[in-house]
Amino acid sequence: MALPLAQELIFGLVIGSYIALGAIGFTLVYGLVNMINFAHGEFITIGAFVGYLAVVFGGVSLPVALLVALLVAAVTGWAIARLTFEPMNDAGAVPLLLMSIGLGLVLRNGMRAIAGPDRRNVPVAVTTYRFDDLGFFVTSNQLFIIGVTLFAVLVLHLFLSRTMVGISMRATADNERLALVSGIDTRQIRNAVWLAASGLAGVAGVMLAVSQSANPSVGFGQLLLIITAAILGGAGSPYGAVAGSYLLGVGIAVSVAFLPADIVALSSTMAFAILIVVLLVRPGGIANTEVRTS
């Protein structure tokens, strides 16, 4: 007996997994650094290229490549933030937003100048598991992507709920001023946020390099979906961002199955449509966080 929607659900989980790790980082930066980072997609692209280089030229296995991309993207993203955003931290949301748009453009075109516009595939052996009775199939690649994402979310959860830095991060997102007069070193917290956000972006980049390709705009292509998922989940809430990503992923997969092809061919149109509906109906998102004025 074929299960209706089983295949769409799997596609949706895969799409959601691509989005989730990027969305967590984006929302952490939004909640703790109080900025909308339009260069977040480029941190993903850095991870994609590092993963590609590690596998193709370094000859390492995929899990090792993930770890390398995590570390390189984390340190690179942190360093970029320290050089560009941190010195103007008190300037307010709009200058930071403009800086991030400019920075994203520079990074994207910089990578295009170095790597060229080619799409580089990371070669991996793919096994397909068919469940014809139930009416769906799943590839080893898809399982890998969903598994890595769920593992990363679990690690993040343990970090945010069990460690002093993690709890301090949530406290700072709740109330930065109270965090300051509780003795929390908010600059150290921002450093930790940039490391975590860029590191997760790096992992997302490798997953995209494996299933699609490493190219200079692979991360930027995800940005709209990431922003939609973060707002859908309640901007600033990492758990909301995960929920928002999977909801968006499944929403896109199901709409692809049921809506006319010429509408869904523009999957960014779907993301925009969902974003508009969410903003109108529930601006606080799933986590119903306060909508910030900044």
Partner 1 sequence: MSLLEVTELDAGYGDLQVLFGVDLHVTEGEYVAIVGPNGAGKSTVMKAVVGLATHMGGEIRFDGEDITGLEPQTRIERGLGYVPQTENIFPTLTVEENLKIGGYLLGGLPDDRQEAVVEQFPILAERLDQRAGNLSGGQQQMLAMARALIPDPPVLLLDEPSAGLAPDLVDTVFDHIDAVNDRGVTVVIVEQNAKTALRRCDRGYVLTQGENRYTDEGDALLNDPEVRKQFLGGGDSPTG
Contacting residues toward partner 1, per CB under 8 A: 164, 167-168, 170-171, 173-175, 177-186
Minimum Å distance from CB 110 to partner 1? 36
Query: Which residue bears the tokens 């050089």?
Result: 83
Minimum Å distance from CB 169 to partner 1? 11
Minimum Å distance from CB 27 to partner 1? 14
Question: Rounded to the nearest 5°, which phi and psi values hold at 120?
Answer: -105, 125
CB 135 within 8 A of CB 2: yes
CA–CA separation, 121 vs 206, rounded Å?
11
Residues forming a β-bridge with 120:
214
Taking the CA atoms of the chain, what radius of gyration do you get in angstroms?
Answer: 19
Q: What DSSP string runs through 83-122?
A: HHTGGGGGG-HHHHHHHHHHHHHHHHHHHHHHH-S--B--
Minimum Å distance from CB 287 to partner 1? 9
Minimum Å distance from CB 164 to partner 1? 6
Q: Which is nearer to partner 1, 177 or 261 (CB)?
A: 177
Q: Which is nearer to partner 1, 155 or 180 (CB)?
A: 180
- Here the tokens at position 100 are 């991030």
Q: Which is nearer to partner 1, 238 or 249 (CB)?
A: 238
Instruction: Please choose, from the candidates 42, 23, 68, 84, the residue with its C-alpha nearest in 3D space to the C-alpha of residue 216.
Output: 42
- Here the tokens at position 101 are 């748009």
Minimum Å distance from CB 178 to partner 1? 6
Q: Which is nearer to partner 1, 243 or 275 (CB)?
A: 243
Q: Which is nearer to partner 1, 205 or 240 (CB)?
A: 240
Minimum Å distance from CB 143 to partner 1? 33
Minimum Å distance from CB 31 to partner 1? 11
Q: Which is nearer to partner 1, 192 or 209 (CB)?
A: 192
CA–CA separation, 63 vs 125, rounded Å?
14
Q: Which is nearer to partner 1, 269 or 288 (CB)?
A: 288
Q: Which is nearer to partner 1, 118 or 185 (CB)?
A: 185
Q: What DSSP string runs through 17-59?
A: HHHHHHHHHHHHHHHHH----TTHHHHHHHHHHHHHHHHHTT-
Provide the CB-side half-sphere exposure for 21 (13 A, CA): 33
- Here the tokens at position 249 are 């992923």
Residues forming a β-bridge with 139:
128
CA–CA separation, 286 vs 133, rounded Å?
35
